[in-house]
Amino acid sequence: MIIDKMYSSKDKFKNALEVLKEESHDLLHFHSLVPEVYINDQTWVWNFYRNYISKNMPVIIKNGCKDWPATSKWNLQYFLKTIPDKDVTVAITPNGYADGITKRNERNNDGTCITEEFFVMPEERTMKMKEFLENLQEPKNNFICYIQRQNSNLTEDFEELLSDIETEIEWASAAFNKQPDAVNFWMGDSRAVTSMHKDPYENIYCVIDGYKDFTLIPPTDLPYVPYKKYPVGTFKNVNINGYEIKPQYIQGDKCSVNTAEETNSKQCSEYIHTDNEEKDKQHEIIDWIAIDPLSPDLNCYPQFKYANVYHVRVEKGDCLYLPSLWFHHVQQSHGCIAVNYWYDMDYDIKYCYYKMLECLST
């Protein structure tokens, strides 16, 4: 009887997920293509709210930032001419994945090597804008640069550029009924990739030069998106010959970055090293998405085949409304420049349902 009830509960849960998938797929009536719209009359704010925000549905706003001065001015040559000596904070990685999953080799006491997957944050360096742009002009192997600080770096770090853009998008602020929490500047290498994740923000993503390729999955497909627990690390000493991954450890209520020395061992990776003292420390752990949506391992994660995956290219002068909690993976053209506006999401009944789904899926 207990076994029958257990299977009955599993079947009910599976059936409930199938209903959710079907109903949400019908709601997202675009099926394979994210819709495109133009701002063409004074009812746009109301239409944007009614048709997209209230439904938590993405949309491309064609020519949404086409008339900004930035769209006709900003490029590599313009920045070389106007702000070459400006100090900028740059994310450096050997593989293009800042805030993503990377394998780390380490040596055991017996001399054998093991490989462990880490969630790795980028090494951040301060350099002149000219140096950053030179790295874009002449890309180096194992040294990928991306300006991607998400602390409203456009308003905080690039005040010289503010007159070329809108510090807030009036129609978006009116529709969300709030001011943006952050306005971020993005520029980088085509090899720089944003791994799949979600944000608690309503996102207006504006492409100033080049293009961005987004891979999107709706939050209703959370049960099909696999998560794993990963130890957290940071890239250090990234250069054309190699790099280190420094784990982060929990010490009381804080975490610290280990300062293990680099090894030149050829049996293990010559640029990743584990100090024996690490064995006695507790890693900081994060839950992160375990799959690459562009090349999913369906043998390990067969449930991912049930996820609705949408692909959208955002061209120069266009804006993407990316609703809160949508999973997204991002690639870009080389030297792509973008600005995005984060508006805090409303923690309404939709959020309550999402948290319930999150609990049921784990």
State residue 111's pLDDT score.
74
Are the beta carbons of 222 and 357 closer than 8 angstroms? yes
- Whole-angstrom Cα distance, residue 245 to residue 201? 30
Are the beta carbons of 96 and 193 closer than 8 angstroms? yes
> Which pLDDT band holds residue 27 (cuts at 50, 70, 90)?
confident
Instruction: Spell out a b/e string for 65-94, using b for 16 or more CB atoms within 10 Å of the CB, else e.
Output: beebebbeebebebbeeebeebebebbbbb
Domains of the chain (ranges plus CATH)? 33-361 (2.60.120.10)
Q: What one-character DSSP code corresponds to residue 49?
A: I
Task: Count the neighbouring beta carbons within 10 Å of the beta carbon of residue 49.
Answer: 16
Residue 187 Cα distances to 3, 317, 331, angstroms: 56, 15, 12
pLDDT for 170-186, tens place per residue? 999 999 999 999 999 99
State residue 199's pLDDT score.
97
Closest CA to 65 of 199, 192, 171: 171
Q: What is the mean pLDDT of residues 289-316?
A: 96
pTM for this predicted structure: 0.88
Q: What is the mean pLDDT of residues 224-253?
A: 90
State residue 341's pLDDT score.
98
| Identity at 175, one-letter amino acid code | A
pLDDT for 353-362, tens place per residue? 999 999 988 7
